[in-house]
């Protein structure tokens, strides 16, 4: 796993020592039922932000969560998230799929429909940071790998989720972009370009389908304590340093505060966007970063 510029700050977050569902419930006012009965797909649901989102949907009353991920074994994998979702009270299904392969995405959404009958909400979290290099040194293969997962994978997920929702004239989708979708991040041109693209895709989708009853929004997280950021910091400390110097001029790390978020803080925004409380929010790129990129 490579280096995300917005994952490039020194790892300093302290975990609170309680389980994710409990922490999430405290963020949402004690475990409401804001998405009661919904059938939800979470891509990249095996780990990090996707896992927290899957758990929070269950804690907030979703009927079923379909976890789509390439990771099918180990601690950070779809089957492990399915266990957590069931513990939190919802039905759950794991489907192994690579979001950059259309046939697999189509099959995953098809499996969700076959098992649960319809699709009400989707959160597209699957993504990779890529390895760090300046543009003149960036290999085409690495560019294509990151863009095919982060941008094309979001497009393919969106395409098949929209198709599944259109017959019901209702549905909400959230694409997890990044603060790197709004500001430049040196050494991470494929990631930064893909995340900028995700915002354009989200806005276009919102315009295309608003008359069909669909709402489609994006979230731009700042630095969040997940396996992605931990792996990046461990594997490429030198790129982390360079990235921090270039991209983190106004970061919390430099001003002495701790602005590393927790996955459930992003999940809280995603679940809210999929809830009736956000019924007039469409085509929005919501920054959830503790105030890092604001000017
Ligand atoms: N952690 C951060 O600081 C941060 C900041 C901004 C944006 N994001 C974005 O949030 C999303 C989730 O990231 P995270 O930090 O939770 O990372 P993570 O590595 O913990 O989780 C990403 C998940 O996506 C899955 N995945 C990767 N490639 C896939 C593919 N081709 N098909 C299906 N699944 C695939 C992985 O197996 C993993 O379970 C990503 O899109 C990431 O770019 C993260």
When pLDDT is averaged across residues 8-15 and rounded to a whole number, the result is: 33
Residue whose token pair is 């910091």: 233
Given ligand 1 and candidates 127, 265, 292, which is best to mutate, with the most ligand atoms within 8 Å of its CB?
127
Q: Which two tokens stand for residue 44?
A: 């990249």
Q: Could you tell me the two tokens for 144?
A: 């294509």
pTM: 0.89
State in Å: Cα 211 to ligand 1 middle: 31
Whether the pLDDT of residue 9 is over 70: the answer is no
- Calculate how far, in angstroms, residue 26's C-alpha sits from the geometric centre of ligand 1: 24
Phi/psi at 261 (nearest 5 deg)? -85, 170
pLDDT at 186 over 60: yes
Whether the CA torsion 94, 92, 75, 287 is positive or negative: it is: positive
What's the rounded mean pLDDT across residues 176-191? 96
Closest-CA residue, ligand 1 atom 26, reads 126
DSSP state of 64: E
Using an 8 Å Cβ cutoff, are 62 and 40 in contact?
A: yes
Mean pLDDT across the chain, nearest whole number? 87
pLDDT score for 8 = 38
Note the pLDDT tens digit of each residue in 196-215. Answer: 999 999 999 999 999 999 99
Question: What's the pLDDT at 90?
Answer: 98
pLDDT of 223-245, one tens digit each? Answer: 999 999 888 888 777 665 554 44
Give the closest residue (by CA) to ligand 1 atom 43.
Answer: 127
More reliable by pLDDT, 5 or 173: 173
Distance separating the N- and C-terminal Cα atoms of the chain? 30
Looking at residue 220, its pLDDT comes to 98
**Mutual angle of helices 237-247 and 227-235, in 10-degree steps:** 110
Residue 274 — pLDDT band, cuts 50, 70, 90?
very high
Q: Above 60 in pLDDT, residue 30?
A: no
Distance from C-alpha of 88 to C-alpha of 103, rounded to nearest angstrom: 31
Look at residue 253 in the predicted model and tell me its pLDDT: 46
Percent of the chain residues past pLDDT 70, beyond the cut = 82
Give residue 178's pLDDT: 97
Between 272 and 242, name the one with better pLDDT.
272
**Contact assessment for residue 181 and residue 284, using Cβ atoms and an 8 Å cutoff:** no
- Residue-level pLDDT at 100: 98
Is the pLDDT reported for residue 4 higher than 80? no
pLDDT at 285: 98
Give one DSSP letter per residue of 154-176, joined into a string. HHHHHHHHHHHHGGGT-EEEEEE
pLDDT tens track for 91-150: 999 999 999 999 999 999 999 999 999 999 999 999 999 999 999 999 999 999 999 999
Domain 24-248+258-287 is of which CATH architecture? 3-Layer(aba) Sandwich (3.40)
Q: What are the structure tokens assigned to 262, written together?
A: 């927790």
Q: How far is ligand 1, taken at its centre, from the CA of residue 30, in Å?
A: 27
User: What tokens does 9 get?
Assistant: 């700050």
What are the pocket residues of ligand 1 if the criterion is a CB atom closer than 6 Å to any ligand atom?
4, 6-7, 43-44, 46-50, 69-71, 76, 98-100, 125-128, 149, 153, 176, 178, 221, 223-224, 226-229
Q: Is 191 a known active-site residue?
A: yes
Question: What whole-number distance in Å separates Cα of residue 128 and Cα of residue 69?
Answer: 12
Residue 7 has pLDDT above 70, yes or no: no
Residue 23: C-alpha distances to residues 16, 27, 153, 219 (Å): 8, 6, 30, 20
Distance of alpha carbon 243 from alpha carbon 247, whole angstroms: 6
Q: What is the pLDDT of residues 46-61, one digit of tens each?
A: 999 999 999 999 999 9
Contact assessment for residue 123 and residue 161, using Cβ atoms and an 8 Å cutoff: no
pLDDT reported for residue 12: 32
**What pLDDT was estimated at residue 238?**
65
Among 9, 98, 126, which is best to mutate for testing ligand 1, by the most ligand atoms less than 8 A from CB? 126
Q: Which residues pair with 121 in a beta bridge?
A: 40, 172
pLDDT of residue 247: 42
């Amino acid at each position: 796993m490579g280096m995300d510029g917005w994952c490039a700050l020194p790892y300093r977050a302290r975990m609170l020592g309680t389980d994710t569902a409990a922490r999430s419930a405290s963020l949402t006012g004690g475990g409401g039922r804001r998405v009661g009965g919904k059938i939800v797909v979470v891509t990249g649901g095996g780990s990090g932000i996707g896992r927290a989102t899957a758990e929070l949907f269950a804690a907030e009353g979703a009927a079923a969560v379909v976890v789509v991920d390439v990771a099918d074994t180990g601690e950070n994998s779809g089957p492990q998230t399915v266990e957590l979702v069931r513990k939190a009270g919802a039905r759950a299904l794991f489907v192994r799929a690579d979001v950059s392969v259309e046939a697999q995405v189509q099959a995953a959404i098809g499996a969700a429909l076959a098992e649960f009958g319809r699709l009400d909400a989707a959160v597209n979290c699957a993504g990779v940071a890529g390895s760090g290099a300046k543009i003149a040194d960036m290999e085409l293969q690495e560019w294509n790998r990151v863009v095919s997962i982060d941008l094309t994978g979001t497009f393919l997920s969106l395409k098949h989720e929209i198709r599944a929702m259109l017959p019901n004239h209702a549905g909400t989708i959230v694409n997890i972009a990044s603060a790197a979708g709004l500001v430049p991040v040196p050494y991470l041109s494929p990631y930064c370009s893909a995340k900028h693209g995700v915002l354009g895709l989200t806005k276009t989708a919102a315009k295309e389908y608003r008359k069909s009853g669909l709402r489609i929004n994006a979230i731009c997280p700042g630095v969040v304590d997940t396996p992605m950021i931990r792996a990046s910091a461990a594997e490429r400390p030198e790129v982390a340093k360079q990235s921090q110097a270039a991209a983190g001029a106004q970061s919390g790390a430099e001003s002495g505060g701790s602005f590393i978020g927790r996955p459930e803080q992003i999940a809280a925004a995603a679940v809210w966007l999929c809830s009736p409380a956000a019924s007039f929010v469409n085509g929005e790129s919501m920054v959830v970063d503790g105030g890092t990129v604001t000017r």
